[in-house]
Structure 1
Amino acid sequence: MASPVTQWLSRMPPELERKLERAEALAREALIDVHANLALDLVSILAPRMPFDEAIERYLESVALDGEEKEAIGTRAVALMNEGEVREDLAREGHRGWGWNWRYATPLGMVRYIRRQQKRSDEEELWLELSAARAEETLVDAHMQHASRFVEVMGDHADPTRAVALYVERLELPELRARMVYQRVMARLAEDLLPRLPEDEQQ
């Protein structure tokens, strides 16, 4: 069943729909690059611990991507890597992390090995958590830019609330990210659209 926003849009002029389709396509294309660069940022952070393909997969999981979008972003991230970066990644194989060796072949050594592995796991979890938080902020900023474009396109046909609601619906944003984008775009528009008291009434 179509949403109220989509039903309302069906009554709008056809040329408006074409403009929105173009704005949506530009947003999707730009966001693939944003995701890909964020994934490569995580690759550089985790390079001493894991190969680039595993790090990219960790990024895609952290931002809850799946389906065609996930595949497109993963492919773009790999394509953005240069040959030197790929060679460096391959050269690290066999030298990542703390491998098992003879020094751990005692009861005390086993304890030390388990503790180091736990520390490694805890560090990686923290890095992933921090990277995910930073990525979320970057994604919200990017969505704000494109949602504002929807507001401009629909300026003569609808108020900003409907324009932003349509954006988050068409881009299928997760609920939390959708709320953040909506809130921030509205807050930014408030600076220009809210009425102001005359100066003499403010004193």
Structure 2
Amino acid sequence: MSQLLQRLPPELNRKLERAEALAREAMIDVHANLALDLVSILAPRMPFDDAIERYLESMELEGEEKEAIGTRAVALMDEREVQEDLAREGTRGWGWDWRYATPLGVLRYIRRHQKRSDEEELWLELAAARAEEALVEGHMEYALQFVNVMHEHQHADPTRAVALYVERLELPELRARMVYQRVMAQLAEDLLPRLPDEQ
């Protein structure tokens, strides 16, 4: 695919670079908003910065992308949300207190703590699944832009355009396959010949 990229005319390459930059920015926003959804869910249990970190870890984000998303998520919070988070600081969690100072109390504390951990793991799993769907939807929009831009310049069939998109955006393998599959299915509605009974 990189050989195709080397053969692209400069004007087309510039348009694709712009579409790629817009896609990257849009995905940072998608991630940041999804991280803030998780902040709202976990607000009674942990500070917003811990919740954002849990989101970034669950999505296996690293490096500059992780930093950009974390920064954007914090920037999207308004002052009221930050103040509410600070006000909750003393009331969060299952703090150790005198009620747990017996052997039975310790057991009860461990069980409650385990239940809470299991619940949080489930929430993170659900949040990650929802995030994947939102990211695939977002990538589809920009992959279709690649298809349209390359079609305008009479370069490559749609399969190559989408493959070029997922390569340039360096999508994880599973997400790349989902984006490719869904874009192809959407294009099939317009590009496949109609059967006689569909005409």
Normalised by the length of structure 1, the TM-score is 0.94
Instruction: Give the Cα separation in 1 of the matches to 2:181 and 2:171.
Output: 14
Task: Determine the structure 2 residue equivalent to 1:131.
Answer: 127
Among 186, 190, 193, the residue aligned to 1:192: 190
Provide, for residues 20-41 of structure 1, a one-character-per-residue CA deviation record: whole Å limited to 9, x for no partner: 0010011111111111000000
Task: Determine the structure 2 residue equivalent to 1:166.
Answer: 164
Say if 2:79 is the partner of 1:83: yes
| Structure 1 residue 64 displacement after superposition | 1.3
When structure 1 is superposed on structure 2, of 178-187 and 8-17 the one drifting more is 8-17
Instruction: Give the Cα separation in 2 of the matches to 1:12 and 1:96.
Output: 56
Instruction: Give the Cα separation in 2 of the matches to 1:115 and 1:38.
Output: 30
| Structure 1 residue 13 displacement after superposition | 1.2
Instruction: Give the Cα separation in 2 of the matches to 1:39 and 1:154.
Output: 33
Say if 2:186 is the partner of 1:181: no
Instruction: Give the Cα separation in 1 of the matches to 2:117 and 2:90.
Output: 18
Paired AA for residue 19 in structure 2? A
What RMSD in Å do the two structures reach over aligned CA positions? Answer: 1.2
Written as runs of structure 1 = structure 2, the 5 A alignment for 1:63-78 is 63-78=59-74
| Structure 1 residue 6 displacement after superposition | 1.2
Written as runs of structure 1 = structure 2, the 5 A alignment for 1:1-203 is 5-155=1-151, 156-199=154-197
Alignment gaps of 5+ in structure 1: none
Provide, for residues 54-76 of structure 1, a one-character-per-residue CA deviation record: whole Å limited to 9, x for no partner: 11011111111111111111000
Q: Percent identity?
A: 83
Normalised by the length of structure 2, the TM-score is 0.96
| Structure 1 residue 91 displacement after superposition | 1.1
Alignment gaps of 5+ in structure 2: none
Provide, for residues 101-129 of structure 1, a one-character-per-residue CA deviation record: whole Å limited to 9, x for no partner: 10110111111111100010010001001
**3-state SS of paired residue (1:154):** helix
Provide, for residues 128-182 of structure 1, a one-character-per-residue CA deviation record: whole Å limited to 9, x for no partner: 0111100110000000011010000111211010000010011010000000000
| Structure 1 residue 198 displacement after superposition | 2.5
Instruction: Give the Cα separation in 2 of the matches to 1:117 and 1:12.
Output: 57
Instruction: Give the Cα separation in 2 of the matches to 1:114 and 1:196.
Output: 62
Instruction: Give the Cα separation in 1 of the matches to 2:127 and 2:32.
Output: 13
